[in-house]
Structure 1
Amino acid sequence: MAEPRDAFDTKVRWPLRLTWAGLIAERVTVAFWPFWSVAMACLALLMMGLHRTLAVELVWSAVVVAIVSLALTFWFGIWKFRWPRRAEAVARLDATMVGRPLQTLADAQAIGAGDAASEALWREHRKRMAARLSGARAVRPDLKLSRRDPFALRYVALLGVAVGLMFGSLGRIGDVGDLGGGGQALAAGPSWEGWIEPPAYTGLPVLYLPDQAEGDLSIPEGSGIILRFYGEVGKLTLAETVSGRIGEVPPASDPEQQFAVAQGGKIEINGPGGRAWDVAILPDAAPAVTVAGPPETTYEGQMSLPFEATDDYGVVAGRAVIALDLDAVDRRYGLAMDPEQRPEIIRDLPLPIAGSRAEFAESLIDDFSQHPWAHLPVVVTLEVNDEAGQTGMAEPARMALPARRFFDPLAAAVVEQRRDLLWNRQNAGRVAQVLRAVSWKPEENLFRSEADYLQFRVILRRLETYAEAGITADQRDEIAQALWDLALALEEGDIDDARERMARAQERLSEAMKRGASESEIAELMQELRDATQDYLRQLSRQAQKEQDQNDEFDSADAQNMMQMDMNDLQRMMDRIQELMEQGRMAEAQQALEELQQLMENMRVTQGGEGQGSPGQQAMDNLAETLRDQQGLSDQAFRDLQEQFNPGANQGQSQGNQGRNGGEGQGQSHEGQGGQGDGAGETGQSGDRSLAERQRDLRDELNRQRGNLPGEGTEGGQAAREALEQADRAMRGAEDALRQDDLAGAIDKQAEAMDALREGIRNLGEAMAEAQREQQGGQGQAMGNAGSQQRDPLGRKPGSRGALGGDDSLLQGEDVYRRARELLDEIRRRSGEGDRSQDELDYLKRLLERF
């Protein structure tokens, strides 16, 4: 059809060209998509190097198939393709515009020619159609092939190319040209391949022998070698001297050879393409272990023996063997006779749970205080093993078996007689005589209490009875355990005994400095002072807690004379004293020791609190009361649960719980002071109200306290509110469970509520402490005013009636890391004990991984 050149040239030239190009692309896509899909699939296989792994016959077959497929699909594309005409492009573009303006402009007036009006109308119509050409836009081609390729094979081929680009290489395509000569050689002659597999515990990779150049080759001892010969049998043979095989050795021409490397030697593959290597063995060195330093002993007697272990590939096990050094024992008194035979002490060495075991440092932690060899000379031998079964041993370390030390003279004497009894049962008569001599007309204050004296006499009578009839091993162990319990009771005593031991240790250290004792003696006495001081502070802490529970007020007049001290201060003072002694400055050390004595004499257990009238303290008291009430409800729910499975089991009980509203506890009902602990349970003074109703009332009371909670706007106050909100939700869950008679579920929810209440009390205490510090302007000195919160000698703010929080932690500075290390050592020691259950070992492993 004829076209107006001016219209095409001015308005639709480029839209028409683009539409024509799209039409061409559309027909090319439809005709040739099978061809480029086959081409992409072949390219992907070549980039992935598939032709390197298949037999040459299969490779050539695949090449033929690929060429034929490419030829057929290309011929199909040429046959299918039809070059679009310009008129087709014009028709496609014209169909997208209203009224088909291109067709209109190409038409001629059929009727009315010569009529002026008709011709004018025709011209106006063409003018309007020409104006519409300005909106011409190129038509997008339809390249969808989903109808022709329902299985999306073209995308599978494209995915293969993407995988080849990421994990393959374009350089592998060039290897196809080598298939002619190489393939012919492979088909015509023999070939081989082989692998070297190092032992698994070495962690080394497998080596591919064809990639190893001829010459020297170093491989780990115990490596396995696999060789495979292809082609005609007998063309390739193996000659090797590394396996040391004798007897039935497979023929050298077997298609598959497999052996382990046991010695250095030579490996030679004879035949076309063969190679030879001189093999050197990389020996697996035996592990090594050494004692890294002297053992450390805590006050309770726990020993920590540091050690270091190394191995080229890693230690898999280890143990410590402790044997009595009989030649070094002072054979006097109860140790004069030969000891009874006892097995060596064997303990597994702790190994790192995470990280490398090729080189590490750990500590063996255990408590040998009750062992018969405690404080006697022993020989400690450390052993470690590697995966190859080799054993490394440390130089035997000679030491006195670390154990708890007793500072009380009577307790030390009891422990010594216990040791003599365990040394040999024939010492029973002698031990009884010594104990009787000690208890005959004892001097004043030798026994702190009548209970200790009576326990001593009972043990003595039983020992004398056993000794007359010939004491057995079980009777000996029974008496030994009783003596140990008595020694602990005598040693720990009360705060006065701890203060006396500390004063005695200070006095002995002072005398040693005055007379110029040796460094070893001074170091021992200094350690004794540290242990005694630590025991004294522990007793002070116990007394502070006890007095805090019994008294709600403290005398503000005494606060002016109270001194604040924590364990860090004492530790620094004692470190300073030891440093001065090591430098030979005895006069200054003596003065520092006197200052320490004065400070310890002036120490008092203080009681903290903000005053009973403060809103914060009142809120703390109310929350503590709510916690006790919740505990009582939980106790009652537990007893009701017991009653379901064992009716009458709780009758007449007088449990020692401290809860309220629980129906039992210390001989009287928690509902009132007059009720007896008869297990009245739900009734008491609560009438006929059920546990669910009482739980609801307790939750309502908690909500009332939440509304009056101080510390709003502070971090601690917000944390306290969140904790109490969680307690409210748990109480609501407990109430619902009680209404449904689900006592087990209610007990769980009540436990959650109590935990949340404790957390809320602690957070509120922190908020109160923070507010007090801001009010005091940072002045937290020991001479604080009567209204300030006081501290106990460990630097804690005990508070009163449930105040569990403070502004400082119990351990600070160096003590934090010391205590953390002790806890970590204890976890590692337990994780190294093979006799523990698997569940417990898994739990300990998770702790070590986390911390």
Structure 2
Amino acid sequence: MTARHNLPIPRLSLWLTHAGMLAEQVLRAFWPFFSIFMAILAVLMLGLQDHVRVEMVWAAGAIAAIAVMATLVWGFRRFHLPSRAEALMRLDASLPGRPIQALMDDQAIGAMDAESVALWQAHQTRMAQRAAQAEPVKPDLRLADRDPYALRYSALLALVIAGLFGSFWRIGSVAEMTPGAAIAGQGPSWEGWVEPPRYTGLPTLYLADQSGTTLSVPQGSRITLRFYGEVGDHSLTETTSPIGAESASEPEQDFVATRSGQLTIDGPAGRDWAVNVIADTSPKIAVAEDAEAEAGGRMKLLFAAADDYGVVSGSAVIALDLPEVSRRYGLATAPEPRDVIQVELPMPIIGDRMDFNEALIEDFSQHPWAHLPVKITLTARDAADQDGHSEPYQTNLPARRFFDPLAAAVIEQRRDLLWARDNATRVSRILRAVSHLPEGFFRSETAYLRLRVTLRRLEMFDDYGLTLEQQEEIAQALWDLAIIIEEGTLADALERMRRAQERLSEAMKNGATDEEITELMQELREATQDYMRQLQRLAQENGEFDQNQQSQNDDALQMTQDDLQRMMDRIQELMEQGRMAEAQQALEEFQRMMENMRVTQGQGQGQQSEGEQAMEGLAETLREQQGLSDQAFRDLQEQFNPGAQAGESQGNEGRNGGQGRGQSHEGQGGRGSDQDSDGEQGQGSLADRQQALRDELGRQQQNLPGAGTSEGDAARDALGRAGRAMDEAENALRNDDLADAIDSQSEAMEALREGMRSLGEALAQNQQNQPGQGSQEGDMQANSRDPLGRSPGANGSISTDDSLLQGEDVYRRARELLDEIRRRTGDTDRPQIELEYLKRLLERF
């Protein structure tokens, strides 16, 4: 067998295989040498030799040299340089059938037989094709069997740490520890450093490397000098520290530069510098823009701050500007001492703090100084504990504004009470006058009762001297009352819409800010949507509207959601342009159109469905609960104002035609016929009727349709809350606590309304899932819906008049719609045209 040299093997594969084998031999033979070398280099780079005695450095150096030599000799004895033949064998072993060895062989038998020669040549050709496809063989660099404790990795880790935290320059310090260098080092020499304050972020300066005669350093820099040799060979003279130094010859000098001066080192290789100390200036801060009230009443104050090395913290001090206060009404009394307001200023989270703008946002709506003249002083502090103050900024403390006149009056009396406890008598008289005739003045019975209870507690506290705790308690109660009056607890959509319109009108008259206008406009939009949904639901429930009724009523208007949206956009646009008169006129026109609006619906036929019966039963329960609440309210009025004829007032109708919205007014004195003079029997009867109504609600809750749907479950949860509130009202009536009973009855009515809304949505969802119930109109409507289940717009338009957001958060609703589109896109059972449409939606959005 003779060798062949012209083998069809890729040269790159053979070269890489050969290099890998060489790497194997180097690592296996010299890994101890590499490990010791990396460990020694890491120790020197970290400068550990500078922290031990010279003798120990010499001993460690000798041991290290012996170890390096020993591992180097050990490596050379075990190192074997791989040959080309070994690389070929390594490559051949990785191929099936060992084609390289086959190509290197010659035919030994049958060389004279033509057929045998042809067979041998065919075999050689096949082996040559295999050899031509040879890939490089990966080297085996694993050393776990030779280094079971992973010492090489420990040395590598030490070298990496030294590279991060050490320096190659420290290796040179070993040369100074040799015997000759030690003797030379005993001669006169010096070295020094200038270390600026850490907060400046500036590097340390090595004095021997500083050229020139002028040295500029930040104020507070620490200068350290070391003199080597005999004492007195070098001396220091400096005038930069507070005490200074003249011809100081101690081996170590350490002082802080606080002022410009001279720094002189006398002696061999001495130096002289004129030190220029750069002063650390105090931070600067100022108000950037006028303070304003954001939506919700939060104060927003923009400020600008700057410092040469960065601001660390800041604060704002708000003090009452008493000379600027209009001392009239409740403010005419001398104010009680009150601490100034101190709040921390926000600092930038990212970036430097050398020059920045930020905004202080705080809510001072409940503070006694709300809307009163104040002085705001801003303070900035740097790392050197230097303070910078702004000029006092005079403004009226921004806070929440109340546009309802009654709520504004309550807030004003709350402010007077917090101004001075001596105003308690005056506040109680004004509140009593405000609540003397509640009919037509208080929109909410709950608000009136809260005011009367608060007033009674205030008068009781005032008789014995109002304490600070009682003052805060009454102030909190008045604040909660103003919120109820301003925002209301109205569940009726029409009343809520009217309320939003009135608040927006008052805001325009009183010059509200853009943020307040935007917030009130959003409230009007949501209330209008609720009103439209309620009209549609009532039309579906009652079945009282037909197509001819629209033409018979000249005042009735039919509008789409797009029309309403355009009108409200126009109103907001006029307000943003400052055209308040035109905006007020447009708002009044919008209000008239909404009150005249009717929603037409085809007349219902046949018997009521289960859902319609449930809605009618809940509506009757709500009316019964309203009647019980009104009768309890009249009884409570009788306690405060006997002989007031039980709430006989405008708009207070009884169920059988009497005044007051209670069950009856046929009894004497306006009290129900089921109540005697002492009131106990009547209240007991109210409790029994409340219990009966609670039992009826429980029966309705058991037969409620829509089980298994989110809307149906929400309706059941709301009715459950209504039942618990009715139980609390019953207990309060039996305990002769009419105020708590009315509060619980109000919660029950609110929960009933919420349950009816959820049930209506469940029924509407059920109708969408089963469009038309087999009728022709339902089938046509179902066939005309788009893949998202939306009805097309009027007159064949591709848009829809349906409100997709339903008053919810816009971003959350958009995310839900996008998730639903993705879910439907993954449903392969849907029609292909629908899947293509959904994919186009995803590509667009």
Q: TM-score, normalised by structure 1?
A: 0.54
Residue 626 (structure 1) aligns with: 709
**Pairing partner for 2:408 from 395, 412, 421:** 412
**DSSP 3-state at the match of 1:351:** coil
Match of 2:242 among 241, 244, 266: 244
Q: Secondary structure at the match of 1:768?
A: coil
The match for 1:796 among 789, 799, 805 is 805
Paired position in structure 1 for 2:213: 215
User: Where does residue 474 of structure 1 map in the other structure?
Assistant: 469
- CA apart distance, 1:577: 4.7
Alignment CA distance shift 1:205-1:547 (3 Å): farther
Q: CA deviation at 1:162?
A: 11
Q: Residues 610 and 351 of structure 1: is their aligned pair in 2 closer, same or farther, counting only changes over 3 Å?
A: farther
- Once the two structures are TM-superposed, the CA of residue 346 in structure 1 deviates from its matched residue by 1.5
Pairs within 5 Å for 1:756-767: none
RMSD over aligned CA atoms reads 6.8
2:390 counterpart of 1:394: yes
Amino acid at match of 2:205: L
Deviation at 1:454, TM superposition (A): 4.2
Q: CA deviation at 1:210?
A: 3.2
User: Which of 1 and 2 has higher RCO (CA within 8 Å, sep 6+)?
Assistant: 1
Mapping of residues 136-215 of structure 1, within 5 Å: 183=181, 186-187=184-185, 189-215=187-213
Within-5 A mapping of 1:293-692 = 293-440=289-436, 442=437, 445-493=440-488, 494-495=495-496, 496-503=498-505, 508=509, 533=521, 535-537=523-525, 539-540=527-528, 560-564=558-562, 570=568, 573-579=571-577, 590-591=581-582, 594-603=585-594, 625-627=708-710, 657=720
1:286 matched to 2:282: yes
The CA distance in 2 between the partners of 1:433 and 1:195, in whole Å, is: 77
CA contact (8 A) 1:192 1:227 kept: yes
Q: Return the alpha-carbon distance in structure 2 between the equivalents of residues 796 and 608 of structure 1.
A: 21
Amino acid at match of 2:334: D
Post-superposition CA distance 1:171-202 (Å, at most 9, x none): 99999999999958844624443333322222
Shift of 1:590: 4.7
Instruction: Report 1:245-284 matches (<5 A).
Output: 245=243, 252-254=249-251, 256-284=252-280
Q: Is residue 301–residue 367 contact of structure 1 (8 Å, CA) maintained in 2?
A: yes
**C-alpha displacement at 1:251, in angstroms?**
5.6
Spell out, residue by residue over 1:564-590, the C-alpha distance to the aligned partner (whole angstroms, 9 max, x if none): 368897466444455365xxxxxxx75
Does the Cα contact within 8 Å between 2:539 and 2:601 map onto a contact in 1? no
* CA distance in 1: counterparts of 2:786 and 2:279, whole angstroms: 62
Q: 1:14 to 1:329 in 2, by over 3 A?
A: closer
| CA displacement at 1:352 relative to structure 2 | 2.8
Q: What CA distance in whole angstroms lies between the structure 2 residues aligned with 1:375 and 1:32?
A: 81
Give the SS at the match of 2:208: helix
Is the Cα–Cα contact under 8 Å of residues 291 and 306 in structure 1 kept in the other structure? yes
The percent identity for this pair of structures is 37
Distance 1:779 1:172, change over 3 A: same
- What is the CA–CA distance in structure 2 between the aligned matches of 1:79 and 1:278, rounded to whole Å? 64
Structure 2 stretches lacking a partner, 5+ long: 12-16, 82-99, 489-494, 551-555, 605-610, 612-703, 729-764, 771-784, 816-845
Q: 1:183 to 1:331 in 2, by over 3 A?
A: same
1:224 equivalent in structure 2:
222
Output aligned runs, 1:97-116, within 5 Å.
Answer: none
- Which amino acid in 1 is paired with 2:300? S
Give the C-alpha shift of residue 328 in structure 1: 0.6
Tell me by how many angstroms 1:467 deviates: 3.9
Higher mean alpha-carbon deviation, 54-63 vs 537-546, is at 54-63
Q: Determine the C-alpha separation between the residues in 2 that align with 1:491 and 1:30.
A: 87
AA aligned opposite 2:396: A
Q: Which amino acid aligns with 2:266?
A: N
Change (3 A) 1:709 1:197: farther
Q: Is contact 2:379-2:387 (8 Å) kept? A: yes
1:19-58 mapped onto 2 (5 Å cutoff)? none
Deviation at 1:397, TM superposition (A): 1.1
The alpha-carbon distance between structure 1 residues 532 and 187, as it changes in their structure 2 partners (threshold 3 A), is closer
Distance 1:223 1:609 in 2: 85
Q: State the distance in 2 between where 1:242 and 1:204 align.
A: 19
Deviation of residue 497 (structure 1)? 3.8
CA contact (8 A) 2:291 2:301 kept: yes
Counterpart residue type for residue 242 of structure 2:
G
Cα contact 2:501–2:587 (8 A) shared by 1: no
State the match for 1:768 in structure 2: 788
- The alpha carbon displacement at 1:407 in A equals 2.3
Please state whether the residue corresponding to 1:478 is helix, strand or coil.
Answer: helix
Instruction: State the AA in 2 paired with 1:431.
Output: V
Q: Distance in 1 between matches of 2:71 and 2:456?
A: 110
How many Å separate the matches in 2 of 1:172 and 1:370?
A: 64
Gaps in structure 1 of 5+ consecutive residues: 1-6, 84-95, 106-120, 510-522, 582-588, 636-654, 669-704, 711-764, 781-787, 799-803, 812-851
In structure 2, the residue matched to 1:847 is none
Q: Which amino acid aligns with 2:358?
A: E
* Superposed displacement of residue 284, structure 1: 2.1
Q: TM-score, normalised by structure 2?
A: 0.54
Whole-angstrom distance in 2 between the partners of 1:425 and 1:38: 88
